[in-house]
Amino acid sequence: MEDSEERYDGMFFTVINQCGGGIQGFLDIFFSFLARKTDFYQGVGNEEAKKILMKKFDEYAAVAQKVVSSRKAELAAQDAKAKERRRKEEENESKIEEVTDFEAEKIQKEIEENKKRQKMEGETSGAPKGDGEEKEDDPTKMKPNEGNGANMSKYKWTQTLTEVELRIPLYKACKSKDLNVELSKKKIKVGIKGEEPIIQGDFPEDIKADDSAWLIEDKKCVLVNIEKSNKMSWWAHVIKSDPEINTKKSST
């Protein structure tokens, strides 16, 4: 049931964004359709129609509460993971072990011997190892934020293995008709009409454009939900030209 319901999410997002008036505008269109194109009101009578509506309202109010609770639990789990990771990093940084001069000399010799051995193994093993692999601690890449994404100068993004969420702040209050948002299989462009795009470029991987959608939150933030085509990969960035995060640090 859940999968069949989600099939229409993209269509409903589009209707909400285009009709104006947010949820109330959407409900106006929905009930207008029932009144004009169906026998919902005449077929069962007003009182019975109200009962049906209230039954469905109560049913999905419970669903909405579960969604909110699940989201809160997910955010709490992510926050706990991030705190635990920071705690371990701080512990590792604070562990300073005192050694004698003799022990220090012995440790240094072992390090030098290991370096020589690794160099010899590299020279005799043919092609160099690990050139194409991402290192666990790579200083050339950004550390991901708590949502496995990054906080960029013009937007913030988070991700799971299946989808990417973009939050793009606006410097002024806008309606959907004021914006230019283009989502395709390979590209994205978001901006205010008549102005330079806030974000524009190629995705690192193809997306499912028909299953992706956007909306405005509080008239000051564009929220874009992107459905990945490849459900088993972490993105290093949303736009190919943007800095990369270290995906080895991403957590499910």
- Is residue 54 domain-shared with residue 108, that is, in the same domain? no
Residue-wise pLDDT for 3-15, tens only, equals: 566 777 888 888 8
In the chain, how many domains are there? 3
**Which parts of 7-159 fold into alpha helices (H)?**
9-19, 22-37, 40-44, 46-94, 101-124
- Is residue 179 domain-shared with residue 217, that is, in the same domain? yes
Asked if 44 and 52 touch (Cβ cutoff 8 Å), the reply is yes
pTM of the model: 0.47
* 133 or 145, higher pLDDT: 145
Residue-wise pLDDT for 49-88, tens only, equals: 889 889 989 888 888 888 888 888 888 888 888 888 888 8
Is residue 88 one of the residues assigned to a domain? no
Query: How far is 35 from 12, CA to CA, in rounded Å?
Result: 19
Strand (E) or helix (H) holding 4: helix 2-6
Asked if 236 and 204 touch (Cβ cutoff 8 Å), the reply is yes
* CA torsion angle 74 76 78 84 (round to 10): -150
Residue-wise pLDDT for 26-37, tens only, equals: 888 888 888 898
Residue-wise pLDDT for 178-204, tens only, equals: 999 999 999 999 999 999 999 999 999
Is residue 219 one of the residues assigned to a domain? yes
- Is residue 160 domain-shared with residue 122, that is, in the same domain? no
In this structure, what CATH number is given to the domain that contains residue 235?
2.60.40.790
Helical axes 22-37 vs 9-19, angle rounded to 10° = 100
What residue numbers bound the domain in which 56 lies? 2-74
